[in-house]
Amino acid sequence: MPVWYARTDAPRWRRACEQVREKGGRLVALWAADKRDIGHGFVVYAALTVRSGLIVIAVLATDERYPDISDLFPAANRMQRAAYDLLGVRADGAEDTRKWLRHVAWPEDAFPLRKDFPSEGLPQQENGALPDNYPFVKVEGEGVHEIPVGPVHAGTIEPGHFRFSIVGEGILRLEERLGYKHKGIEKGFESMTLMEGARLAGRISGDSTVAYGWAYAMAVECAAAVTPPARALCLRALLLERERIGQHLWDLGFLGNDAGLAFGLAQFSRLREEWLRVSHATFGHRYLMDTIVPGGVACDLDRDGHDRIALEIESVAEAVAVLRNIYDEHAGLQDRFIGCGRVRPELAERMGLTGLAGRASAVAWDLRVQFPPVPYEQFEVRMATHRNGDVAARVMVRFDEIAESLRLIGLMLAHLPAGEVFAPLPSVPESAIGIGWVEGWRGEVLIGLEVAAGQRLRRVHAHDPSWQNWLLLERAVLGNIVGDFPLINKSFNLSYSGQDL
């Protein structure tokens, strides 16, 4: 995967972002780092797509300020606010400077990712919790009401608050508030070695453990200038497709259930459970955690596992084809799906919708196609896209992606190279940087890291595609009724945990 690095001053940084936007590029991630202890001050990074790959541009935050780019890339707004909450660097000229991750977990003048922030955290506030006082946007007018939902939900999901402004049952506005369980993941990386960080990376968002694990390993391997064995790379791709299928099976069941077809949930839950059991039997973990490590993979596939997966993909393909016909022909289900939660292609492109949801709104972007890592370049991945951008389109893309992933797994089994599955890492020089960029089931996952002395991590930033897509969920619900929100929300199925590092 081609990646370029550049460092420039504030005016040129802003101009470079403008040029990327003018040429149809996108902002993938924005983050900051404290380099005062090595004489470099605060540095802000923007990872941007260009026609030939990814460019990471760094700018020094002079007087703890750097140019705002949220007018160019709307998704930058929350990334910039998070950078301030964690490091105290502010986007100069930004209209929205509300806190994003801080809540009341630490005082307003404390910044956890600064190097002088105590690793054990700050002492407990003597006067108890401070008031949050988050300034939600108010919608006023005759008949307008607010409905607060969350942050605590009636399910085993992480907290998130949704503030609906409605007239009758129609939604006029939705505003989200996330970051309720800040876990200190990025701070935790700073005390780890390159190999130790792999376990934490795989737990950033548990439904995407393979995507994060591979992105982290890729970033380390980039910094170390090492290439894993061919067999390891093929096994990584096989694990990634297993993760994609497992999550799509889960989502399709709940989408059917949320639209009134409990039969769909029962059948897809059965298929997913069988899928997870095969993952455990062949790779040692139902959700495939800790299977990917820098330098390769931590497990191999024996002949019994090979044959079991070969039989499994045939049976799952047949069962999913039957269920797809049922979903397509169920009038009540289609009545709920079609036209619901629509994101038009032009809005999706302008706002930077990515991944599965983007492809359902005609954003033809999939790293397995545009910049295919080994072994994808030999399989000609068939990208699943749609133009309608509604729940029905996101359901269809899921069905198409299951079929394609099953095909890819079959090809990987047939072309699995012989040989080793791990290559030891050489000594990585201090200040080496690395980028990992992987197409997870939800969308593109990015890891950026810098190495400290003693083969330890100086800074790790993990970016989930949900940063871009939560903004579009707020737009997708407009004009729909409140009762359709669970269905629309599930059709995106975004990560709370991936936002709350």
Residue 107's pLDDT band (boundaries 50, 70, 90)?
confident
The secondary structure of 402-415, three-state, reads HHHHHHHHHHHHHC
Check whether 261 has a pLDDT greater than 70. yes
For residue 325, the 8-state DSSP code is: H
Q: What are the residues whose beta carbons fall under 8 Å from the beta carbon of 19, sequence distance 6 or more?
A: none
pLDDT of residue 287 exceeding 60: yes
User: 29 has which bridge partners?
Assistant: 47
Summarize pLDDT for 337-389 with one digit per residue, the tens. 999 999 999 999 999 999 999 999 999 999 999 999 999 999 999 999 999 99
- Tell me the average pLDDT across 421-447: 96
Tokens of 445: 């996952």
The confidence band for 17, taking pLDDT boundaries of 50, 70 and 90, is very high
Phi, psi of 426 (to 5 degrees): -75, 175
pLDDT of residue 438: 98
pLDDT digit string (tens) for 205-256?
A: 999 999 999 999 999 999 999 999 999 999 999 999 999 999 999 999 999 9
pLDDT at 106: 86
d(Cα 77, Cα 352) in Å, to the nearest integer?
12
pLDDT tens for 380-425 read 999 999 999 999 999 999 999 999 999 999 999 999 999 999 999 9
- Looking at residue 124, what is its pLDDT? 62
The Cα angle at residue 32 between residues 177 and 8, in degrees rounded to 5 = 135
% residues pLDDT > 70 (the chain):
98
Pairing state between β 3-8 and 53-60: parallel
Picking from 446, 430, 459, 352, the residue whose alpha carbon sits closest to that of residue 3 is: 446
Per-residue pLDDT tens over the stretch 296-306: 999 999 999 99
- φ, ψ of residue 28 to 5 degrees: the values are -90, -45
Sign of dihedral through CA atoms 447, 452, 458, 459?
negative
- Residue 128's pLDDT is what? 54
Q: Name the more confident of 184 and 461.
A: 461
Contact indicator for 56, 3 with CB cutoff of 8 Å: yes
pLDDT of residue 2: 83
How far apart CA 283 and CA 305 sit, in angstroms, is 8
Contact 235, 416 (CB under 8 A): yes
**The pLDDT of residue 126 is above 70:** no
d(CA 486, CA 150): 13
| Cα–Cα distance list, 450 to 53, 65, 105, 109, 216 (Å) | 20, 22, 27, 26, 12
Stretch 146-173: mean pLDDT: 91
Summarize the confidence of residues 161-167 as an average pLDDT.
96
pLDDT(129) > 70:
no
| Six-digit token string for 401 | 């992606």
Sheet holding 433-439, edge to edge: 433-439, 444-452, 456-463
Contact present, 337 and 391 (Cβ < 8 Å): yes
**Quick one: pLDDT at residue 342?**
98
Question: Can you tell me whether residue 66 is helix, strand or coil?
Answer: strand
Alpha-carbon span 325 to 296, nearest angstrom = 40
Task: Tokens for 6, please give them.
Answer: 């550049």
Give the closest residue to 316 by CA, choosing from 244, 416, 412: 244
In terms of DSSP bridges, do strands 90-92 and 433-439 run parallel, antiparallel, or are they unpaired?
Answer: unpaired
What's the rounded Cα separation, in Å, for the pair 137 and 356?
29
Measure the CA–CA gap between 157 and 496, rounded to whole angstroms.
Answer: 8
**DSSP 3-state of 444:** strand
Position 465, amino acid: P
In angstroms, what is the C-alpha Rg of the chain?
22
56-60, 74-78, 122-126: which has the minimum mean pLDDT? 122-126
Looking at per-residue confidence, does 448 or 109 come out higher? 448
Whole-angstrom distance, CA of residue 404 vs CA of residue 219: 27
Cα angle for residues 455, 458, 464 (degrees, 5° grid): 115
For residue 93, the one-letter residue type is G
How far apart, in whole angstroms, are the C-alpha atoms of residue 289 and residue 134?
36
Question: Domains of the chain by range and CATH?
Answer: 3-133 (3.30.460.80), 185-499 (1.10.645.10)
pLDDT at 133: 86
* The pLDDT of residue 283: 97
> And the tokens for 207?
């439904």
Q: Which two tokens stand for residue 272?
A: 């997913």
For the chain, report the end-to-end CA distance as a whole number of angstroms.
26
pLDDT in the model for residue 123:
66
Q: Which one-letter DSSP state was computed for residue 416?
A: P
d(CA 85, CA 114): 11
Query: Tokens standing for 399?
Result: 């069905």
Do the Cβ atoms of 467 and 78 come closer than 8 Å?
A: yes
Between residues 453 and 408, the one the model is more confident about: 408
> pLDDT for 167-195, tens place per residue?
999 999 999 999 998 889 999 999 899 99
**Which amino acid, one-letter code, is at 309?**
I
Per-residue pLDDT at 130 exceeds 90: no
